[in-house]
């Protein structure tokens, strides 16, 4: 069967639409992660999403909905909790990470969830996206794009230097929490598509590549979306053509783009 012929199947249409939405919007979150050094937070969110998925399987509700809700709540809480307790976001993320992992394993054990189901959370399945999954991916993507479009100048200042953004009179804290919130939502829906372990394919790698060659934040955003889109669609194609797991081929495509930018770029722009 040809690539175009395969697109007559709903599962392929859903997969393609999923990578189009996620490929465009999710790498933008990667730009935030790199610029604001939110790596520990992203790692914690991946584990929170895992706990949400485990909770979903345990309670027999949609794992993505459970993951989305738990990530949204955690993302809303993390910033203010870190602020109130004066514990850094990195440290508190470490706390969340280990706690959620421990709780996930208890749920897997007590819910007698089999290994395949548990691993489906870790690996995701882009060919199993339902119409509701697409609504969630599309909704989060649209939300991220709208926030960046509406608050571009404030976001630019915050990514440059949070202290300076605060000093010139920008509501820095509220917007920073909004960024953390978007990160939580993105990780949760990425988990369903590509799995908790490979979230970086959509979120981080395209942004890394863009950061190596961009000369402005606008370019960083545009290039990371472009790279996300190219790696998503080409990864999906290779997966279909050579019968390989889509998560892995998308990661490989994104990694290849990073390697090319590393060779031809000027090094990290955000590091």
Partner 1 sequence: MHHSIELYDIHVKLGDAWVLSGVSVEAKPDEFVALVGANGTGKTTLLKVANGMLRPSKGMVKMLGRELWHAANGNNGVRKEVGFVPQRSASRHFPMRVDEAVLMGRYGKIGLLRKPSRDDRDIAQEALEVVGMQRLAAKLIHELSGGEQQKVALARALAQEPSILLLDEPTTYLDADSQSDIMETIYRLHRQRGLTTLLVTHDSYWVEQYSNKVYLLKDGKSQLIRQNT
For position 270 contacting partner 1 by CB under 8 A, the verdict is yes
**Could you please report the per-residue DSSP string of 115-184?**
HHHHHHHHH--GGG--HHHHHHHHHHHHHHHHHHHHTHHHHHHHHH-HHHHHHTT--HHHHHHHHHHHHH
Residue 10 binds partner 1 (CB under 8 A): no
Q: With contacts defined by CB under 8 A, name the span among 47-55, 60-68, 94-102, 149-157 that binds partner 1.
A: 149-157
* Residue among 14, 16, 26, 35 that touches partner 1 (CB under 8 A): 35
Nearer to partner 1, 52 or 211 (CB): 211
Which of 33, 134, 180, 214 is in the footprint of partner 1 by CB under 8 A?
214
Residues across the chain: 271
> Which of 155, 170, 151, 189 shows the shortest CA–CA distance to 62?
189
Angle between helices 10-35 and 39-59 (to 10 degrees): 140
Cβ at position 257, least distance to partner 1 in Å = 18
- CB of 114 or CB of 216, closer to partner 1: 216
- Please tell me whether residue 84 binds partner 1 under the rule CB under 8 A: no
Closer residue to partner 1, CB minimum distance, 80 or 267: 267
Binding mask 161-200 for partner 1 (x = CB under 8 A): x-xxxxxxxxx-----------------------------
151: contact with partner 1 by CB under 8 A? yes
| Buried-exposed string 144-171: b where 16+ CB fall within 10 A, e elsewhere | bbebbeebeebbbbbbeebeebeeeebe
Residue 108 CB, shortest distance to partner 1, in Å, is 39
In angstroms, the CA 49 to CA 66 distance is 8
Question: Counting contacts by CB under 8 A, is residue 220 touching partner 1?
Answer: yes
CB 149 → partner 1: shortest distance, Å?
A: 10
Instruction: Confirm or reject binding of residue 148 to partner 1 (CB under 8 A).
Output: no
φ, ψ dihedrals at 74, nearest 5°: -65, -45
Shortest Å, Cβ 220 to partner 1: 6
Token pair of 232 as six digits: 């998503």
Distance CA 63, CA 193 (A): 12
Name the residues that contact partner 1, by CB under 8 A: 35, 86, 150-151, 153-154, 156-157, 159-161, 163-171, 211, 214-217, 219-220, 267-271
């Amino acid at each position: 069967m040809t690539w175009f012929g395969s697109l007559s199947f709903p599962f392929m249409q859903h997969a393609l639409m999923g990578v189009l939405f996620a490929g465009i919007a999710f790498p933008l979150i990667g730009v935030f992660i790199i610029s604001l050094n939110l790596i520990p937070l992203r790692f914690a969110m991946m584990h929170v999403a895992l706990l949400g998925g485990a909770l979903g399987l345990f309670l027999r509700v949609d794992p993505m909905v459970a993951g989305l809700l738990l990530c949204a709540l955690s993302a809303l809480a993390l910033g203010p909790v870190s602020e109130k307790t004066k514990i850094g976001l990195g440290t508190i993320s470490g706390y969340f990470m280990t706690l959620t992992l421990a709780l996930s394993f208890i749920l897997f054990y007590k819910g007698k969830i089999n290994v395949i189901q548990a691993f489906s959370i870790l690996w995701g399945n882009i060919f199993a996206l339902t119409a509701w999954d697409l609504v969630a991916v599309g909704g989060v993507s649209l939300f991220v794009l709208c926030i960046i479009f509406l608050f571009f100048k404030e976001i630019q200042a915050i990514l440059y230097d949070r202290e300076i953004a605060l000093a010139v009179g920008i509501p820095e804290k509220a917007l920073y929490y909004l960024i953390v919130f978007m990160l939580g939502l993105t990780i949760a829906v990425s988990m369903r598509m590509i799995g908790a372990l490979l979230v970086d394919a959509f979120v981080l790698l395209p942004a890394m590549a863009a950061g190596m060659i961009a000369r402005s934040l606008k370019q960083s955003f545009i290039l990371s979306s472009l790279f996300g889109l190219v790696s998503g669609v080409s990864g999906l194609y290779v997966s279909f053509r050579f019968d390989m797991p889509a998560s892995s081929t998308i990661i490989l495509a994104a990694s290849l783009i990073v390697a090319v930018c590393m060779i031809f770029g000027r090094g990290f722009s955000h590091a």
